[in-house]
Structures are given as C-alpha cells and as structure tokens.
Chain A
Amino acid sequence: MDARRKERVVFGLLSLSMLAVVVPVLLVLYFLAVRGLPGVTWEFLTALPRENMRAGGIMPAIMGTLLLVTGTVVFALPLGVLSAVYLTEYSRPGALNRLIRLAIVNLAGVPSVVYGLFGLGLFVLFLRFGASLLAGSLTLALLILPVVITASEEALRSVPVSFRQASLGLGATRWQTTWRVVLPNALPGIMTGVILGVARAAGETAPILFTAAAFFLPRLPHSVFDPVMALPYHLYIISTQVPDAPPRIQWGTAVVLLMLVLGMNLIASLIRTRHRRARHW
C-alpha cells in the first residue's frame, strides 16, 4: 500500500473514532432534551415534591446538591491546595515525596462506593455526625481531593521558576513567595481543577448514599447535621423505588443534574480560556 493511500485510511479511521465519541454524547443530550426539558418548569425547580415524589418539584434535591457541593469545596479546596503547595514548593524530591504521590494516585483509583463506606465508618458512625450534610461533604471532599491536588500541582508548576527566584532573591521567605507570587498566578488553574472536581462530586451517588442522602425530606436542612436530598440519589430513587413515578419527573431530574454538571464544566473552561488570553508569560 503506498503512503498516500495509507494516509487516507488512517485519516478515515481517526474520523470514525471521533464520530464514535461525539455521536453518543449528542444522542444523550438529544434524548434528555426532548424528554426532559418539557418537564423542567419553574414549579418543578422551586416546589417541594408531593404525593410521594410522584408530583411537585425537586427543589430540596437541587438545594441539597448545591449545599453538598459547597461543603465539598470548603473542605477540599484548602486541604488540596495546601497539599499541592507542600509537594511543589516545600518538599524535596525523595522517598517521602514519591510515597505521597503514590498515595494520591491510588486515592484517585478508589471506587466511589468505597469512599461511601469509609465516610459511613469514619464520619457518620465514629465521629457521630450521622447521615448529614457535614458527613456527605467531607466524604465528597475526600473523593475529589486527588483531582484538586493534581490540578493545583500542575497550576503551581506552570508558574515560572524565575518568579520564585526573583522573590527569594529579594529576601522573601518561601511562604511569602508562595502566597504573594506563586498562588495568585496559579489561581485560575487551581479554580479550573476544583470546579471539575466539584462537577464530579455533584453527580456522584455512591459516596452520599450512606453519608448524607435522605430518601424523602420535603424541607431544607436546618443545620449541617441534617441529612439532605440530592439530585443523583433522588434520580435513582424515583427511577427504581417509586412505582408509577411519571417519566416527566425522572427525565426532568436527569436534565437538571446534567445541566448543573455541564454548567460547572463550562465555567471551568471559561476560566481557563480567559486566563490563557490574559497571561503574558
């Protein structure tokens, strides 16, 4: 086979594989939009569920997921960023450093249901938080910690070494250098990573199954020790545990969850592109 024909065949194969990726995504979006969007009304977004979740809205589930996600950021952001700062700015290459990295990689590979069980054991039972917003947020924070650390590390590393040298050369301490020069310039990259992690946390069911999610709780939580409804878990319930739940509600919930996650991904990529355009180095 001559080189030019080979080139065409390869190009054809590559195009096919691209289609195989893009087409299912478009199909998912299409079916969700057609079946789900009509159900997404103002009342659906803002009302409490009625008649055993067979009517009414999903407001508590939306709020529950937003609260869980907020709690996740509160715990995962400082912990993840400080870990990344330790790894990139303070630790010296060596056995300990490699061990920590190995731990992070493995943490990323742990199935989410295992996080759920861990959260149940540690936060819900041992620390007696009960199935609650707090326990669920902490569990989700652990889940996305590897993503946050890895993204933050990458963002910190992309800040030129020359900035650090200039700062240290002026007699700044390591922490002053990190706080005043490195972190501000790494912030957009860190935010991108955090939002992507949070988008994943918003869609997870298994980690909140035993730690936070309420089957049916037609009100908002009064404290961080209250359980909450959450979109992915609610979707699971009305699809499998509630006979004759109208498909309108099921598809509508799926659309809302997907829009939430896609919206966050969109924000993340907006931050990234804006930052790329703005930076001079």
Chain B
Amino acid sequence: MEKLMAEPRRAFQQPVSLPPAPDGRVKIAARGVDVFYDRFQALKGITLEIREKAITALIGPSGCGKSTFLRALNRMNDLVPGARLEGVIQIDGDDIYAPGLDVVALRKRVGMVFQAPNPFPMSVFDNIAYGPRVHGVRDKHQLAEIVESSLQRAALWDEVKDKLREPALALSGGQQQRLCIARVLAVEPEVVLMDEPCSALDPISTLRIEELMRVLRENYTIVIVTHNMQQAARVSDETGFFLMGELIEFGPSSGLFTTPRDRRTEDYITGRFG
C-alpha cells in the first residue's frame, strides 16, 4: 500500500479483473444541474451521463458538491430546508424533478447507502424486511425469502443466518454496512447510490464492500461518492472529478486516473491538494 502511494501515477491503473467500461445505455442523465442551499450555489451546471450496470465514481475535495449531486439523484436534498435545484435530471428518460412526481416511488427505484452504517435499532431480519413491509409485503414466507436473498446478494447471509433475530446494532461496522446494502437491495432498486460507504470502515471491511460492488454491478447501476481515489480507480468504470461545484472532468476511470485531461484533475489525483 505504502509503495503504491509513493507512485501515484502507476497506482491508479485499473485492476485487470475488471472488464473495460461498458458501452451500456444511459441510465441517468443530468443536464445543466444547479443546486442552491439558500443563496449558496453548491452545484454549477453539471451535465453528465451515468451508464446502466456500471459503477460511476464521484471524487473531489470536501465541499466540492459531489455528495450534493448524489443526493440530487434520489431527491434526498428535498429534506434540506432552503435547497433548490435547477436543470434537468432524467432516469430512463423521466424527469425526476417533474411536478407531481412521486418521490416515494423514485426512492424505491434509487436506493441509497450512507456514509456511516445506519441500521435501525431492530433485529437483522426486521432491518431487511423494513423496505418490503413499507411497500406492502405482508406474507411471512415472502418476507423471509426476500430477507435471505437480499442478505445473500450483499454477501452477508453466511455470517448472519443464525443471528436474524438479534439486534442489527450488535454486528460489526463492516457487517452493518453490508446489512444496509442488503436493506437497500430488498426493495429491488435499479440504482444504488453510495455516499462514502467505506469511510467509517477498516481496510478489510472496505475490501469486502468493494468486492461486493463489483458483483452488484452486474445487476445494478451504482454511483459512489468517495474520498479515496484508489478506491475510485479500483472499482469504478467511469469517474467524475468535482471541484467547487463544477464538474471538471468526466470519463472512463482508466483514462482519468492515468492521463487526466485537466490540470486540476491531475493536481488532485497526484495529491497536490485536497
């Protein structure tokens, strides 16, 4: 690890196991997106396209707007008083800020994993079953099936299959975060947003989450905000670099990390600031 850090340029080469960025169809399209918090403009004219069944990483220094952009994708910013968005964000061609749009239905399609693991203070089972129950699933067998398959997809089943009735908060931090991922998968989303999902985890747990992301990529569109550039380089197909509310550079991760086009991107990924 230390040796890799010392040679940043070569460190960011893509692992061979990951196939090249897919030419999949566009899942999410943002055009000229501005976000304001009262008078402060957090995002300035963001335009980018996120591909289906790929991992898109958003990087940049603190306060650059990457998390704001992520939260705009499932309208979590609506919860912040004084937040306002201009421009267009489409998922599968539907404007998600169209008047009268069902935000609840949108959030079912676009799940979110947060920075710190935030399981509910309930059992493992009830955590996973929460989403399906909220969406009207009552049948016990059906719930049990959803819980098992979600935990399996999140690579947590073997560790917790005997602890389903135990409090989720008794699990380790890394297990809690995979539980939160399983909880999101249980509502069958199409897109999974991850807001620095590993920042509160140790390196081993981080590695497991990254492995999990590579597997999930086959079925889900994943957007991840991360502070960790190696992580972005390791797991993502495409990367966007944000700086002071602007999208400086966006493209295949292999290119962005090895031959950045913009000077500011290069300065950031080589550790000159941030």
Which residues of A come within 8 Å of B, CB atoms? 92-93, 160, 162-163, 165-173, 176, 180-181, 185, 279-281
Contacts and interface: CB of A to CB of B under 8 A. Distances in A.
B130 A171 contact: no
B81 A93 contact: yes
Interface string B145-183: 000000000000000000000010110000000001001
B134 A171 contact: yes
A216 B183 CA distance: 62
Contacts of B79: 165, 168
Contacts of B130: 167, 170, 172, 180
B76 A172 contact: no
Contact of B76 (A93, A165, A180, A279): A165
A279 B169 CA distance: 10
Contacts of A173: 104, 134
B22 interface: no
Given A166-B114, A167-B134, A170-B111, 16 more contacts: A162-B114, A162-B116, A163-B118, A165-B76, A166-B119, A166-B120, A168-B79, A169-B74, A170-B183, A170-B187, A171-B105, A171-B107, A171-B131, A173-B134, A176-B134, A279-B121
B32 to A, nearest CB: 26
Contacts of A171: 104-108, 131, 134-135, 187
A185 B76 CA distance: 22
A185 B107 contact: no
B120 A181 contact: yes
Contact of B134 (A92, A180, A185): A180
Contacts of A176: 134
Interface in B71-94: 74, 76, 79, 81
A172 B121 contact: no
Contact of B107 (A170, A279, A280, A281): A170
A83 B118 CA distance: 27
A170 B108 contact: yes
Contacts of B114: 162, 165-166, 169
Interface string B180-221: 100110010000000000000000000000000000000000
B112 interface: yes
Contacts of A281: 121, 169
Nearest to A176: B134
A278 to B, nearest CB: 9
A160 B74 CA distance: 20
Contacts of A162: 114, 116, 118
Contacts of A165: 76, 79, 112, 114, 118
Interface residues of B, number: 28
Contacts of B111: 169-170
A163 B79 CA distance: 13
Contacts of B167: 280
Contacts of B134: 167, 170-173, 176, 180
Contacts of B106: 171
5 contacts: A166-B120, A167-B134, A172-B104, A176-B134, A280-B121
Which 6 pairs show the lowest CB-CB distances between chains A and B?
A171-B108, A162-B118, A169-B112, A170-B131, A171-B107, A280-B169
A150 B127 CA distance: 30
A166 to B, nearest CB: 5
Interface string B104-147: 11111001101010111100000000110011000000000000
Contacts of A181: 120
Nearest to A94: B81
Contacts of A163: 118, 120-121
A169 B135 CA distance: 13
B194 to A, nearest CB: 11
Residue from A92, A171, A280 having most chain B Cβ neighbours under 10 A: A171
Contacts of A169: 74, 76, 107, 111-112, 114, 184
A32 B226 CA distance: 66
Contacts of B81: 92-93
